[in-house]
Amino acid sequence: MKLFVDSGIVKEIEALASLGIIDGATTNPSLMAKAGGDPRQILKEICRIVQGPVSGEVVATDYEGMIREGHDIAAIDEHMVVKVPFTRDGVKACKTLSGEGIPVNVTLIFSATQALLAAKVGAAFVSPFIGRLDDIATDGMHVIEEIVEIFDNYEFGTEVLVASVRHPIHIVQAARLGADVCTCPPAVIDQLFKHPLTDIGLEKFLKDWEKSQAVAR
Ligand code: G3P
């Protein structure tokens, strides 16, 4: 499973990418607003760092505006993926942009039917927001299970990019279901490195080694 970082903060992305675990990145208008600065420059820098798919989202809500902004985003870097919301105009824009060879990530997906339509218009990725489904007592992972099953039945080339990830168990569940990508906030990725038994075990190894060296001296 590919691991993308969900952030517009270059320093956070750089720190994680240096570990060799990051395959791409996703952003959205909220994350870019939080980052501040010039969005185009930030996206260009993220592309340089991750050297994988980087999603930049349009803010236009009309078809023509999405196409215009989509072309601008695609022109930033060869790694750019154009993110459009799942609306009628977004679906139509996905059809057009995909037809031009521009990879599209259809976002704000909350059902298997939305994912199916996005795949039909050639989306490179669909982004089901599982955390926001869980937030309203709806099983987000069940939607992932349905999407993966449907995409496998019809060999859609569209990748399932699990988004709105809240904790490591979401990542485990997504991987067990065969999702293609998980995009995670840096804080959730950091949690993947933590296990108390690893810390305890390493401390004991080092103490035992130190003891043996003291005896040898
Ligand atoms: O990529 C989508 C993600 O940023 C949304 O996460 O936590 O706002 O639901 P969240």
In this structure, are strands 54-57 and 80-85 parallel, antiparallel, or unpaired?
A: parallel
Q: What is the pLDDT of residue 215?
A: 87
Residue 117 Cα distances to 10, 86, 133, 158, angstroms: 33, 9, 19, 11
What is the separation of C-alpha 10 from the centre of its chain, rounded to a whole number of angstroms? 15
Give me the CATH number covering residue 103.
3.20.20.70
Provide the whole-model pTM: 0.95
What is the separation of C-alpha 152 from the centre of its chain, rounded to a whole number of angstroms? 20
pLDDT in tens, the chain (217 residues): 999 999 999 999 999 999 999 999 999 999 999 999 999 999 999 999 999 999 999 999 999 999 999 999 999 999 999 999 999 999 999 999 999 999 999 999 999 999 999 999 999 999 999 999 999 999 999 999 999 999 999 989 999 999 999 999 999 999 999 999 999 999 999 999 999 999 999 999 999 999 999 988 8
Task: Determine if ligand 1 sits within 6 Å of the CB of residue 95.
Answer: no
Q: What is the pLDDT of residue 217?
A: 82
Rounded to 5 degrees, φ, ψ at 95 are -60, -45
Is residue 128 within 8 A of residue 115, CB to CB? The reply is yes
Q: What is the pLDDT of residue 155?
A: 82
Task: Determine if ligand 1 sits within 6 Å of the CB of residue 32.
Answer: no
Task: Determine if ligand 1 sits within 6 Å of the CB of residue 131.
Answer: yes
Number of domain units in the chain: 1
Judged by phi (left if over 0) then psi (alpha if -120 to 50, else beta), residue 147 lies in alpha
The ligand 1 atom at the shortest distance from the C-alpha of residue 166 is 7
Cite the active site residues.
Answer: 83
The ligand 1 atom at the shortest distance from the C-alpha of residue 26 is 1
If 0-12 CB within 10 Å is exposed, 13-18 middle and 19+ buried, where does residue 99 land?
Answer: exposed
The single-letter DSSP state of residue 15 is: H
Question: For residue 188, how far is its CA from the centre of ligand 1 (angstroms)?
Answer: 12
In this structure, are strands 24-26 and 54-57 parallel, antiparallel, or unpaired?
A: parallel
Q: In terms of residue numbers, what domain contains 42?
A: 2-216
The ligand 1 atom at the shortest distance from the C-alpha of residue 31 is 4
Is residue 129 within 8 A of residue 101, CB to CB? The reply is no
Give, for ligand 1, the residue of 4, 54, 105, 129 to mutate: max count of ligand atoms closer than 8 Å to Cβ.
129
Task: Determine if ligand 1 sits within 6 Å of the CB of residue 129.
Answer: yes
One-letter amino acid at 1 equals M
Question: For residue 18, how far is its CA from the centre of ligand 1 (angstroms)?
Answer: 23
Tokens matching residue 102? 């521009």
